[in-house]
């Protein structure tokens, strides 16, 4: 079994404790649409406790068999046994009414893995669901088709190629939006709950490094993390070492439109700032704490004034890191309130290659707050107006630079 936090993935048990003691171990897993673990550590395949122990070990399928026979004898269309079995499994997951509990067929599981490893053909946008269950854009990725076409965070996707998204899971929507390179997908968008827009977006191959870095104004290190992926820890570590050698006087960590990713990556990148043993997050079922994650060492950036940029497209692992750095007094937050996705999920692999992604707990910041549907609120709210965006003026980045200049 694998475990996911928000949009991120984590290990449990012995493998997790081993990873905490071994700062150089990178546990490769998958986010937002599936994954695997890679590394020299062990993974304890213990079963996560559940509040549903009183449910029967087996369901009564009498009604299901009756429904099957009725469909078999009366439906005017071609069906296969595999199609019907997959439908049953999807339905069981959907019955939880939790948008993050999803059954994947073997093909869907592979698509999930490709998405998490930033290797697929699509439009370059991370999707989620709002509090009302609407399918919405979390973050269009810079310089990719969705962003170039004009999609924005919080845009509601009403239909995909003419098919309504009402009742559609995030993962089903992602599967429909993805497709072969150079083909088009048509999206009907509702913006600000009032404006209806149509977009025809041409898909392209998506394969991007998750970290970019540079130096601003000669003495400010700029680190942008677009997702917490298998390459994130190594790239962030390299950038941190460069910043240290350049003796930067401040750091801007840009996690705007970062939809999240691997929990272990978030912990290890946070550890570039946090001394060993500082709390990154707690996990709870109800009021009971089931696990805690702490920084693992290698904190070469501790004490360097740092600004974290977040916005409505910052979700999951990026929210974990923003909260951890802020609550441990290592960063000042600028931008807009983040997305607000604070759930823990477990990924269970089946023998035929299919998978179940199931919500098992919630995660909490070091200050004790759960951010689900609430988000992380910056210390300073700075918005980018439509006019600023059109003119290419990044008021949030400017605010971060001004803050760090005042610290020198």
What CATH number is attached to the domain comprising 155? 2.30.42.10
pLDDT-wise least confident of 21-30, 212-221, 252-261: 21-30
Give the pLDDT of residue 323: 98
Residue position matching structure tokens 């948008």: 99
Q: Which of 282, 327, 338, 362 is catalytic?
A: 327
pLDDT, the chain, mean = 85
- Say how far apart CA 273 and CA 283 lie, in whole Å: 22
Same domain, 194 and 268: no
Which of 206, 228, 246 is the endpoint of a domain?
Answer: 206
The encoded tokens of residue 212 equal: 């970019």
Residue 200 is assigned to a structural domain of this protein: yes
**Is 116:30 a contact under the CB 8 Å cutoff?**
yes
**pLDDT tier at 119 (50, 70, 90 boundaries)?**
low
pLDDT given for residue 175 in this prediction: 86
- Alpha-carbon gap, residue 330 to 326, rounded angstroms: 6
User: Of 158, 191, 206, which one is at a domain's C-terminal end?
Assistant: 206
Write down the pLDDT at residue 50: 72
Residue where one domain finishes, among candidates 174, 206, 238: 206
The one catalytic residue among 316, 318, 338, 362:
316
Active site residue 60: no
Q: How far apart are CA 322 and CA 338, in angstroms?
A: 10
pLDDT at 201 over 80: yes
> What's the pTM?
0.69
At 49, is the pLDDT very low, low, confident or very high (cuts 50, 70, 90)? low
pLDDT band at residue 197 using 50, 70 and 90 as cut-offs: very high
Query: Would you place residue 118 in the very low, low, confident or very high pLDDT band (cuts 50, 70, 90)?
Result: low
Parent domain of 159: 123-206
Examine the pLDDT at 317 and tell me if it is beyond 60: yes
Question: Would you place residue 16 in the very low, low, confident or very high pLDDT band (cuts 50, 70, 90)?
Answer: very low
Domain count along the chain: 2
> Is residue 382 domain-shared with residue 252, that is, in the same domain?
yes
pLDDT band, very low/low/confident/very high, at 30 (cuts 50, 70, 90)? very low
For 155-159, 277-281, 309-313, 385-389, which range has the lowest pLDDT when averaged over its residues?
Answer: 385-389
Which range has the worst mean pLDDT, 13-17, 80-84, 263-267, 355-359? 13-17
Catalytic residue among 86, 341, 357, 362: 341
**341 among known catalytic residues:** yes
pLDDT, residue 248, reads 97
As a whole number of angstroms, the distance between CA 318 and CA 210 comes to 12
The CATH number linked to 224 is: 3.90.226.10
For the record, the structure tokens of 201 come out as 């977006």
List the single range of 22-26, 36-40, 75-79, 162-166 with lowest mean pLDDT.
Answer: 36-40
Residue 24, pLDDT above cutoff 80: no
Output the pLDDT for position 176.
93
Q: Please confirm, yes or no, whether 282 is among the known catalytic residues.
A: no
The number of residues making up the chain comes to: 408
- Are 295 and 395 in a shared domain? yes
pLDDT attached to residue 186: 97
Between the alpha carbon of residue 107 and those of residues 33, 150, 251, 355, the distances in Å are 11, 30, 42, 10
């Amino acid at each position: 079994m694998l475990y996911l936090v928000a949009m991120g993935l984590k290990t449990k048990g012995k493998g997790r404790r081993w990873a905490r003691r071994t700062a150089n171990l990178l546990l490769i897993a998958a986010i937002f649409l599936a994954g695997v673990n890679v590394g020299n550590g062990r993974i304890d395949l213990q079963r996560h406790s559940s509040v549903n122990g009183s449910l029967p070990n087996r369901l009564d399928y009498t009604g299901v068999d009756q429904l099957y026979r009725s469909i078999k004898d009366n439906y005017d269309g071609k069906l296969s046994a595999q199609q019907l079995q997959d439908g049953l499994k999807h339905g069981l997951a959907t019955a939880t009414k939790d948008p993050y509990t999803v059954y994947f067929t073997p093909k869907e599981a592979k698509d999930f893995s490709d998405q998490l490893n930033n290797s697929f053909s699509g439009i370059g946008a991370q999707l989620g669901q709002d509090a009302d269950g609407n399918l919405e854009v979390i973050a269009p990725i810079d310089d990719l088709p969705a962003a170039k076409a004009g999609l924005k965070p919080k845009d509601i996707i009403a239909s995909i190629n003419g098919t309504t998204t009402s009742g559609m899971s995030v993962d089903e929507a992602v599967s429909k939006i993805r497709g072969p390179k150079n083909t088009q997908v048509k999206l009907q968008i509702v913006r600000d709950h009032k404006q209806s827009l149509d977009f025809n977006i041409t898909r392209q191959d998506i394969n991007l490094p998750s970290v970019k870095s540079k130096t601003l104004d000669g003495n400010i290190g700029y680190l942008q993390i677009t997702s917490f992926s298998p390459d994130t820890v190594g790239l962030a570590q390299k950038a941190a070492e460069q910043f240290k050698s350049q003796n930067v006087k401040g750091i801007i960590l840009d996690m705007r439109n970062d939809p999240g990713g691997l929990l272990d990556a978030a912990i290890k990148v946070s550890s570039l700032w946090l001394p060993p043993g500082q709390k990154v997050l707690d996990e709870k079922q109800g009021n009971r704490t089931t696990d805690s994650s702490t920084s693992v060492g290698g904190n070469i950036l501790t004490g360097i004034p740092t600004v974290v940029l977040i916005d409505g497209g910052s979700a999951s692992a990026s929210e974990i890191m923003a909260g951890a750095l802020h609550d441990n007094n290592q960063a000042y937050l600028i931008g807009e309130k983040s997305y607000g996705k604070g759930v823990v999920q477990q990924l269970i692999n089946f023998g035929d290659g299919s998978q179940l992604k199931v919500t098992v707990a919630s995660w909490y910041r070091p200050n004790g707050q759960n951010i689900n549907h609430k988000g992380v609120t910056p210390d300073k709210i700075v918005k980018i107006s439509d006019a600023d965006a059109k003119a290419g003026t990044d008021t949030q980045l400017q605010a971060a630079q001004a803050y760090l200049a005042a610290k020198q």
